[in-house]
Amino acid sequence: MTTASDKTKTSISKFEEFFSTKYKEKVIEAIEKYPDQRSVIVDYLDLEMFDPDLADLLIEKPEEVISASQKAIKNTDTSQKNADLNIRLENVTNNIPLRFLRSKFIGKFLSVDGIVRKTDEIRPRIVTAVFECRGCLRLHEVAQNSNVTTEPSLCSECGGRSFRLLQEESEFMDTQTVKVQEPLENLSGGEQPRQIAVILEDDLVDTLTPGDKVRITGTLKTVRDEKTRRFTNYIYGNYIEPLEQEFEELQIDPADEELIRELAADPHIYDKIIKSTAPSIHGYREVKEAIALQLFGGAGKELDDQTRLRGDIHILIVGDPGIGKSQMLKYVSKLAPRSIYTSGKGTSGVGLTAAAVRDEFGGWSLEAGALVLADKGNVCVDELDKMRSEDRSAIHEALEQQTISIAKAGIMATLNSRCSVLAAANPKFGRFDSYKSIAEQIDLPSPILSRFDLIFVVEDKPDTEKDRKLARHILNIHKQDSMPFEIDPELLRKYIAYARKNVHPVLSQEAMDVLEEFYVSMRNSSVEEDSPVPITARQLEAIIRLSEASAKIRLKPQVDPEDAKKAIKLSMECLKQVGYDPETGSIDIDKVEGRPAKSERDKFRLVQEVIKELSDEYGGSAPTNILITEMADRYSMSEEKVEEVIRTLKHKGVIFEPTSGHLKIV
């Protein structure tokens, strides 16, 4: 009969053979670098090829086998350095999704994939405690296996039972707890992501930050809570493998790849993908085209001076109630593998970015929010206008720089949030008013508006022909209880994933010429010196991103003039909707980005000039009634407009009213 000690001896001898043959160079190198390097990384597949039984035993009895491997390394150490090396195992085949971690896996060696949600402070854990007998002062060394310090039962010298812990003589090890959440791409809509605590020790501490995608290998253990008397599972970490899992980390087999290639060769693929985007919603071709381009994304770049040019496309849809904005957002959140859907009122600033939370010991740690967890994916923010302004301002940095900087509770950190944002909002007055300019009715501040590549305005106007088609579309969906697809949603997911992973289009010289000509001609469309600015470099960058996304749809390695023209057309549609100034008859970028248009700024200037003139004439202040008459005579400005300008100038502190009916420049 084989005893446990025999098994251990066999394991040690097998590992000695493994380390002195297959891993000889790695072990010698690690011993030479000790204590700066404290681990030897062993590929599980190498161990399995060397001895399958030993590899199987590792999965079943990880603590015994890893302990045997550490003893074996010491035995093979010819330099007599007595290096206490950790054995870390990568490529462990026993990968279990977090939601399937059940009690049958307790004590087993496994790996799990997830996103780091929170990291606690690094704390010392006592490994070998040195106790002094209070009676005879004899020292006792006791190995510690848990957080509760175990004292010797009695002194071997005098039989005493009273001891004092000598902290300076004892041996400690760094330990850290991190919380890992299952990857968002594994969830179907509405499922609550599972979480598990992971204990990291020694050289594994301080290697993770919130938002990191990792594969953690370790032993599943359980601990009993003394208060509730319940058991809680945790993973005792052995190895961390970073996974820069992106949108594209879907399983695409050769058969799928062949289907994708066939689709890409279809001359009508562009239209098919647009029709397959939110197919349950009728119409809105431009919006669907933009969403399709957003899903494929542009090509992000990192310049030599560390400047990042984002490839993610941000879209804002402002529309009347009941046109399907939320449905479009829900569709994107389900189609994009790494995607988070959130809605205005129920979203806080820290929920979007990162929260500083107290851990069980009273220290502070960071917990990642939606924009960090959706790194390299999509965030859909519904009812953006209903969010509190201080919460909304949290996404400024995430939209442009694609990072989130935190300075809370003594924690200074910068987290990545390289995600596309698709947002929806309602008009300021609930529904669009046809007598006011559209730009005035978008109730969002200019810093937010200027960061969106495309802003769509969707009005719900009665139109017999359109209404009939819409009614028929809705009735057919209810009748058939299913949706005819141009491209199956699962195949579309894989198509998008394949394009994002393998296609990185570059601008062709012809496409660059088209974009350059458009930008220069738009900027110089008006010859007058003080004419409104139609577009800025920000819009040019947005058009470049859209052109790259258009090329990705066809899996092309470079951006053609055709892609550039499509992007320009789509961008111009948005600019005309929001930025058209009826007074000047041209596009004014200030209107698009929520600032007063050039024509408005001219009115402010003219009113101020006339107030100054009248003040000189009427002894220091201008009578309001005479100002209104003068503005009507000289510039044909209506009384309502003059009063509106006066209110704005008062609000901005440019003018004040010393006595009723008289105005004065500050």
Same domain, 166 and 264: no
Same domain, 120 and 180: yes
The CATH number for 388's domain is 3.40.50.300
Q: What is the CA radius of gyration of the chain?
A: 33
Same domain, 305 and 212: no
pLDDT of residue 633: 78
What residues contact residue 370 under an 8 Å CB cut-off, 6+ apart?
340, 342, 347, 351, 352, 379
Q: Name residue 220's beta-bridge partners.
A: 235
- E strand or H helix at 586: strand 586-587
Same domain, 304 and 390: yes
Q: How far is CA 225 from the centre of its chain?
A: 34
Neighbours of 122 (CB within 10 A): 13
Sorting pLDDT into bands at 50, 70 and 90, what band is 165?
Answer: confident
Q: What is the pLDDT of residues 486-503, one digit of tens each?
A: 777 778 888 888 888 888
Specify the residue for token string 């988070």.
340
Helix (H, G, I), strand (E, B) or coil at 366: strand
Same domain, 378 and 237: no
From 470, 502, 534, give the residue that closes a domain: 502
User: Is the per-residue pLDDT at 527 higher than 60?
Assistant: no
Q: What is the pLDDT of residues 308-359, one digit of tens each?
A: 788 888 888 887 777 777 788 888 877 776 777 888 777 777 777 777 777 6
Q: What is the pTM of this model?
A: 0.66
pLDDT of residue 483: 62
Q: What is the dihedral of CA 57, 61, 63, 64, to 10 degrees?
A: -70
Q: What is the pLDDT of residues 247-277, one digit of tens each?
A: 445 667 788 888 888 888 888 888 888 888 8
pLDDT of residue 250: 61
DSSP-derived pairing of the beta strands 506-507 and 558-559: parallel
User: Is the per-residue pLDDT at 6 higher than 80?
Assistant: no
From 502, 518, 538, give the residue that closes a domain: 502
Q: Which domain holds residue 627?
A: 598-665
User: Is the per-residue pLDDT at 516 higher than 70?
Assistant: yes
In this structure, what token pair is assigned to residue 160?
């005493």
Q: What is the pLDDT of residues 284-299, one digit of tens each?
A: 788 888 888 888 888 8
Q: How far is CA 502 from the centre of its chain?
A: 21
**Residue 620 has what DSSP assignment?**
T
Q: What is the pLDDT of residues 80-139, one digit of tens each?
A: 666 777 888 888 888 888 888 888 888 888 888 888 887 887 888 888 888 888 878 888
- Report the mean per-residue pLDDT for the chain: 78
From 487, 502, 517, give the residue that closes a domain: 502
Q: What is the pLDDT of residues 386-438, one digit of tens each?
A: 777 777 777 777 787 888 887 777 777 778 888 888 888 888 777 777 666 66
pLDDT of residue 2: 52
Q: What is the pLDDT of residues 35-91, one digit of tens each?
A: 777 788 888 888 888 888 888 888 888 888 888 887 877 777 666 666 777 888 888
Q: Name residue 114's beta-bridge partners.
A: 214
**Residue 108 has what DSSP assignment?**
-
Question: How far apart are the C-alpha atoms of 561 and 509, rounded to whole Å?
Answer: 9
Question: How far apart are the C-alpha atoms of 601 and 596, rounded to whole Å?
Answer: 6
Q: What is the pLDDT of residues 587-631, one digit of tens each?
A: 555 555 555 556 666 777 778 888 888 887 777 788 888 887 887
